[in-house]
Amino acid sequence: MKVYYKDGNVATKNLTPGISVYGEELINEDEEYRIWNPRRSKLAAALLNGLKNLELEDTSKVLYLGASTGTTVSHISDIVINGKIYAIEFSPTTAKKLVQLSRQRINIAPILGDATKPKAYMNIIEKADLIYCDVAQPTQSELFMKNMNLFSKDEGLGLLMIKARSIDVVQKPKKIFKEQEKKLKEKGFKIIEKVKLEPYEKDHIAFLVEKNF
């Protein structure tokens, strides 16, 4: 996966030189790179905290659940330059910004949809090398597994960003993380890697998984 580390930062080579997506710093060293802000992107936080087994090629297909305005999507777009990102977003207002981003970056396909109802978009996306889930709701693990089962390639990976407070505001995050990990394993998923996201995101953990069946 082509990401770059410099002076404690992570960056991606800018697919659209001269254009900043969310106000991120652009740096030039023979070519232009975008500093990937770990306080705006959980994937950047995970990478800075040691995530090392995520594989993305320039032709990879990605299903992104909870795309929001496209901050993280845009950096993945820098990496999968000849691939495709199917970016699912539930909010029509937020999805409009994704549409604007897709006009600059042709490898992004914005889709207004509900990640809890994946069959609704089954006929417009293809099997994915990576399914990335950042949907802050109590059923985040369940909807992630449902999408993995429907859309993951046989050798595909899944990256689930767990927000403990969206599942239960009373239980300790550590207990919630253990419960979610157990749930994934019971449903046939193998945990390849787990990375906590502090200090960038409080009470969050990233699970990198593959289907174990």
Q: What is the pLDDT along the chain (213 residues), one digit of tens a residue?
A: 899 998 999 999 999 999 999 999 999 988 999 999 999 999 999 999 999 999 999 999 999 999 999 999 999 999 999 999 999 999 999 999 999 999 999 999 999 999 999 999 999 999 999 999 999 889 999 999 999 999 999 999 999 999 998 988 888 989 999 999 999 999 999 999 999 999 999 999 999 999 876
Distance between CA atoms of residues 68 and 89, nearest Å: 6
Distance between CA atoms of residues 111 and 98, nearest Å: 9
**For 89, how many CA atoms within 13 A lie in the half-sphere containing its CB?**
22
For residue 149, the surrounding DSSP H or E stretch is helix 140-151
Q: What integer pLDDT is reported at residue 213 of this predicted model?
A: 62
Would 7 be classed as within a structural domain? no
Query: How many domains in the chain?
Result: 1
Q: What integer pLDDT is reported at residue 1 of this predicted model?
A: 86
DSSP state of 35: E
Are 63 and 128 in contact by the 8 Å Cβ rule? The answer is yes
**For 25, how many CA atoms within 13 A lie in the half-sphere containing its CB?**
9
Q: What integer pLDDT is reported at residue 173 of this predicted model?
A: 87
Would 73 be classed as within a structural domain? yes
Q: What integer pLDDT is reported at residue 14 of this predicted model?
A: 98
The CA–CA distances, whole Å, from 60 to 152, 176, 187, 205 equal: 12, 31, 25, 24
Name the residue range of residue 47's domain.
37-211
Would 94 be classed as within a structural domain? yes
DSSP state of 67: -
Would 30 be classed as within a structural domain? no
| CATH number, domain with residue 190 | 3.40.50.150
Instruction: Give the largest CA-CA distance in the chain.
Output: 50
Would 9 be classed as within a structural domain? no
Would 192 be classed as within a structural domain? yes
Would 24 be classed as within a structural domain? no
Would 48 be classed as within a structural domain? yes
Q: Which amino acid, residue 125? A: I
Q: What integer pLDDT is reported at residue 118 of this predicted model?
A: 97
Q: What integer pLDDT is reported at residue 191 of this predicted model?
A: 97
